[in-house]
A and B are shown apart, each in its own frame.
Chain A
Amino acid sequence: MTTSTPLPTSSLLHTEEMILNVGPQHPSTHGVLRLVVHMDGEYVTKVVAHMGYLHTGFEKTMENRTYQQNVTYAPRTDYLHCFGHELAYVLSAERLLGAEVPVRAQLVRVLLHELGRIHSHLVFIGTGLLDLGALTPFFYAFREKEMVQDLFEEVCGYRMNQGYFRVGGLYRDLPEGFEQHVRAFIDHFDEKVDEYEALFRENPIFVDRATGVGVLSAAQAKDLGLTGPNLRASGVPLDHRKANPYCGYAELDFEVPVESAGDCFARFVIRGAEMRQSARIVRQVLDRLEPGPIRDPNRKISLPPRQELETSMEAVIYHFKLVTEGFHPPLGEAYVPVESARGEVGYYLVSDGGSVPYRVKIRAPSFVNLQALEVAGVGGQFADLITVVASLDPVLGDVDR
């Protein structure tokens, strides 16, 4: 693209490279990301991303908590799509343990997982356009985002960092009337999603600013290990919901949107399309939801029902064992990739047979995706770099953990 070529500099003019420090406190770094930007005028010649400002040692902490307790930590990494991390952790732990999750629990997980994706993409669109100087879409997107959070709150009392899933099922069943509320929201959302797509698809200034900016070819995207919408925007149709179906995604009817351009515009468009697909999945799940158990009946995994504690000595013992030391998965390791709003998230768990994981390694999509910044952000202007950061959608909690 012609705009990315720096102007020819006269040999008579002495020019100097400018090193600009962006962040960790800066309006558009989506948290505490620090970028050291080398610039020739307004053109970016090199970007170095410094991270770790939010590092709190999640992985190490999780190695000192029981499997069930760790559910609390997982959503706190990616605070915009909490259910993605939660689901990834729970699935890995269940594979380690060999737990059987009832159908209803799986469907509820899919439901919340997809609502979480809508939540995350709404924040992406709002803040992404804000980074380009459009103030208003932010508030529109946040209106629906709040609605999703209302639904989360209804389910488990938390608007963020839910910790609602359990190894072996769910914390509790859906509240009464919840399904109607979700249906009402999805009906409302179907109208709004058109509006949001129009906000960026039909805005000539936005189109000009995002088209051809921060291009990542399919090969580059693969080499960098990108996953999720960022990878699919470059034309690689990898989606773990299709590739490695979990929680019954194989039986659901949905499409994986793929764009070929690999530029910021494609990364915006693809998220709009994904929100539609998520809404579609939510509808199907609602149609399939039937009353049933929500936890693995295995007493060595799930707590016994409250009323049994008064009559059964066995129940009291199981309860005591589970609460004090948790369960002991057999020796082994497990990793289940999950498609979160940002890409492949997975928890690599190693068990030494004890009640706490021997090793936890989080495959955090934002961390990997952020690598692309040093490729996609270079060559364009400084303003483009901000667009690229926004389009890669990093969540710093997910990056630093």
Chain B
Amino acid sequence: MTAAHFWITLLKAVLVALALLTTFAYMTLVERRLLARMQIRRGPNRVGPLGLLQPLADAIKSVFKEDVLATNRDRVVFFLAPLISITTALTVFGAIPAGRPGGFFGANPWVFNLDIGVIFILAFTSLGVYGIFLAGWASGSKYSLLGGLRSSAQVISYELGQGLSILGLLILVGSANLRSIVHWQYHHGWLIAFQLIGFACFLISSFAETNRTPFDLPEAEQELVAGYLTEYSSLKWALFQMSEYVNMITASALISTLFLGGYRGPAFLDAVVPGISGWPYLWLLLKIALFLFLFIWVRATFPRLRYDQLMRFGWKVLFPVALLNALLTAAFVGLLPGLSPWILGLVSLLILIALLALGDRLLAGNRKLARGSAGD
């Protein structure tokens, strides 16, 4: 590695971190405004025009707040936990390709490009859970402990399904390199069309991974006050918030890259405006924004699952369905080589519809069962 390469990479890393943190700051504002819209309120609109300076005010407030420290805490771990969270959160985004090679003033628009990109990202985001778990353990508070335990239970239940849900995709593409995946989609069409089941599973587990409603058990306000966050205040608290939102942004970017063609726009638009699908950054940002909106929308819509329901969902629904998808894709690629992936897409769609219809009936049966035994 040459010195110039080193400095450029470092510069890019800093830029990514800054961009993520700015997006996080405005994400909080956007989320509050959007939630307010959905809840017939106005949301923060006092600080600056349209409340645009609100994130700044929030940042100042968090920094200057008294850092209240629980006496029961484990000093070292209590301090390290938010750092683990934010470090893993910020690192992962570097693997996302944001444009064509050489697209960033002659440099490559990614911080690092690994052949095991997808696996690296999954591995690193899972590490982030240690931050939450250790925070819960080190706080010396029962609410925090329960939050931390829930978090680890949550990881165990969704992780396997999440990993399996992209297995089909990897079989189809034949590479775990994110650039290759984007490239493949450029030639064959977006993977969401061929991997609908995988997409659904991955999307759901992303909600669990980022601790967002309906899987926000670790911080379930109405039960655990603030879960693992209960004893944190000031900057340490802000770091946890930051990592949650950064994780959300990363998850959105990852879903976009894996299933929605990454930094490339839809090719059919080229017929209208030549070259529009190749416009740098625009498409990735749009797709990220789309998923971020989805995260907020879901938060406004759903209640929270219970701890055991999440586990059951992870093991009894997510895992087998993702496995089914992987097997289906493997069979398709192995037994019917040369067939258009669109057929696979069609089959996936039919299966997904069948699963949804069947699932509804199964759930209804479950409910009836629960109610029946309730009468005893």
Contacts and interface: CB of A to CB of B under 8 A. Distances in A.
Contact of B367 (A28, A132, A134, A207): A207
Interface string A366-384: 0000000000000001111
Contacts of A138: 39
A263 interface: yes
Contact of A133 (B222, B307, B367): B222
B61 interface: no
Contacts of A132: 222, 303-304
B72 interface: no
A250 interface: no
A205 B374 contact: no
A130 B370 contact: no
Contacts of A382: 146, 223
A209 B370 contact: no
B151 interface: no
Contacts of B304: 132-134, 205, 209, 383
Interface string A9-42: 0000000001010000011100000000000001
A136 B300 contact: yes
Q: Which one of A3, A132, A203, A206 has the highest number of Cβ atoms from chain B below 10 Å of its Cβ?
A: A132
Given A382-B146, A386-B223, A133 B213 contact: yes
B11 to A, nearest CB: 41
Given A133-B214, A207-B367, A27 B305 contact: no
B142 A18 contact: yes
Contacts of A384: 306
B27 to A, nearest CB: 17
B367 A211 contact: yes
A22 B83 CA distance: 30
In this complex, the member of A18, A28, A135, A261 whose beta carbon has the largest number of chain B beta carbons within 10 angstroms is A135
A205 B373 contact: no
Interface in B16-44: 35, 38-41
A217 B374 CA distance: 8
Nearest to B373: A1
Looking at B35, B40, B374, B375, the one whose CB has the most chain A CB atoms below 10 A away is: B374
Contacts of B150: 42
Contacts of B366: 208
A262 B306 CA distance: 20
A131 B374 CA distance: 22
B222 A28 contact: yes
Contacts of B307: 42, 381, 383
B142 A263 contact: no
A257 interface: no
Contacts of B373: 1, 212
B219 to A, nearest CB: 10
Contacts, number: 109
B374 A136 contact: no
B308 interface: yes
Contacts of B35: 135
Interface in A199-236: 203-209, 211-212, 215, 217
Contact of A209 (B38, B301, B303): B303
B375 A260 contact: yes
Contact of B303 (A133, A139, A140): A133
Nearest to B368: A211
B220 interface: yes
B7 interface: no
Interface residues of B, number: 37
Contact of B221 (A27, A204, A212): A27
Contacts of B216: 133
A291 to B, nearest CB: 38
A382 B367 CA distance: 20
A143 interface: yes
Interface in B212-229: 213-214, 216, 220-223, 225
A133 B221 CA distance: 8
Given A208-B309, A382-B223, A383-B220, A136 B39 contact: yes
Contact of A205 (B41, B223, B302, B376): B302
A256 B370 CA distance: 25
B374 A215 contact: yes
A135 B374 contact: no
A382 B145 CA distance: 14
Contacts of B302: 133-134, 203, 205
A129 interface: yes
A375 to B, nearest CB: 14
A212 B303 contact: no
Q: Which of B214, B223, B376 has the most CB of A within 10 A?
A: B223
Nearest to B300: A136
Given A1-B370, A262-B374, A382-B146, A139 B222 contact: no
A1 B368 CA distance: 11
Given A42-B146, A209-B309, 7 more contacts: A3-B308, A27-B225, A28-B223, A133-B221, A139-B39, A208-B363, A261-B375
26 contacts: A1-B370, A3-B309, A20-B143, A28-B222, A132-B303, A133-B213, A133-B216, A133-B220, A133-B221, A133-B304, A134-B304, A136-B38, A139-B39, A140-B39, A204-B363, A208-B366, A209-B305, A211-B370, A211-B371, A212-B371, A212-B373, A262-B374, A265-B371, A381-B308, A382-B146, A383-B223
Interface of A: 1, 3, 18, 20, 26-28, 42, 129-136, 138-140, 143, 203-209, 211-212, 215, 217, 260-263, 265, 381-384, 386
